[in-house]
Structure formats: structure tokens, C-alpha cells
Amino acid sequence: MARLVLLCAASGLLLAAVAAIPPPEEAARMARYVLHSCDWGALATLSAQEGLRGRPFANIFSLSDGPPGPCGGSGVPYLYLTDMEISVQDLEVNSNASLTVSLAQTPYCRKHRYDPQNPLCAHIIFVGSIVKVNDSEAGLAKKALFSRHPEMESWPKDHNWFFAKFNITNIWVLDYFGGLKIVTPEEYYSVKP
């Protein structure tokens, strides 16, 4: 019952946060806002699998940049991974990846009747690499992920789960008509969402 109350409260905070979308001229803030509003994203790797080697391969991953709510998160996309996962096997060969998150997964686009492909249904494309977090950052990653994805705590221990982060090198924002906006990681991390 307590878990249900916590999930309902978190959902309420997320809905409240989605109501205050940044204006399109604040692309860095929009990127931080969209990431913090999303619980999952599409991670694209270059496949290392037989028959697909070198081809793009996209997969869905749960993520979090911090606990839900108006505090805004850290901006760092954290993931909980296992070497048993096919995309993680790709990342072991080539850690470069792209990550797309979209307000289409929130009530915002449905409320405004925006198709997920409509630029007003903002989405962000991050390019970079996946790296395991060090011991000093593991607590932060755990809090960020388990606060949004509580079932992760009960996932099988024999799968050797580990915390990782998306190390951002490039950011593209599509949140309005007229094309993509480029945001540097420095701009992204310096704004308050």
C-alpha cells in the first residue's frame, strides 16, 4: 500500500512538472526538462551481434536523472544494466550510443493532442557513450533509478546489475518548428531546469 501511495505521489509531481514546459527559446532548459520528465528512452547502439554487426540497433531502457519532482534532477541519464542484455553487449564492443527521450511518454502531448512526431511534442537526442559509474557516484545513481523504478531493487541479483550513465557529448533539441537546436553539454549542465 505504501508503495502505491509513493507511486501516486510521484505521478502527481511528474504531472505538475509537465505543466510548466520551458519556452522554445530556452533549448538547454528544455533538454533538461524533457529528460527529467521521462522515465525511459530509446538507446541506439551499433550492433555487435552476428548478422547485424555494424548496423544501428535501438532498444528501450528505463532511466532517471534523479527522483521525480520539481527539483529538476542532475541532468545525467542513469541506467541500470546487465551484461546479459543485447544492447549492453553491443556497448562492450563500442560504447558510443545515442539516446532519445520524448514528451510523448508524458501526459503533455496527449493533453495538447500532439502527435509524437509533431515538433511541439518535444524530444531530445543525446549522443555520447555509456560508462559504468564509479563507487562515489553509485549511490546517486541508485537513488535516481530506484526512486522512479522501484521494481529494479528486486531484479535477480545473479544478473550482475550495475549502474551506468550516459556521458553526453552532443545534444539536439526538437521542440518547435524550424529544425533542430544544438545545445552544448556545458550549456545543458549550467541551466536550472
Whole-number Å distance between alpha carbons of 32 and 84: 30
Distance spanning both ends of the chain, measured CA to CA: 32
3-state secondary structure at position 158: helix
Long-range contacts of 16-23 (CB under 8 A, 24+ apart): 16/70, 17/68, 17/69, 17/70, 18/103, 18/106, 18/107, 18/108, 19/108, 21/103, 21/108, 21/122, 22/193
Tell me the per-residue pLDDT of 72-83, one tens digit each, with 9 for 90 and over: 799 999 999 999
Q: Is domain 38-190 annotated with CATH 3.40.50.850? A: no
Question: How confident is the model at residue 1, as a pLDDT?
Answer: 43
Average pLDDT over residues 93-110: 97
pTM: 0.88
Which residue type occupies 60?
I
Mean pLDDT of 11-35: 78
For residue range 140-153, what is the model confidence (pLDDT) as tens digits?
Answer: 999 999 999 999 99
Residue-range domain boundaries for the chain: 38-190
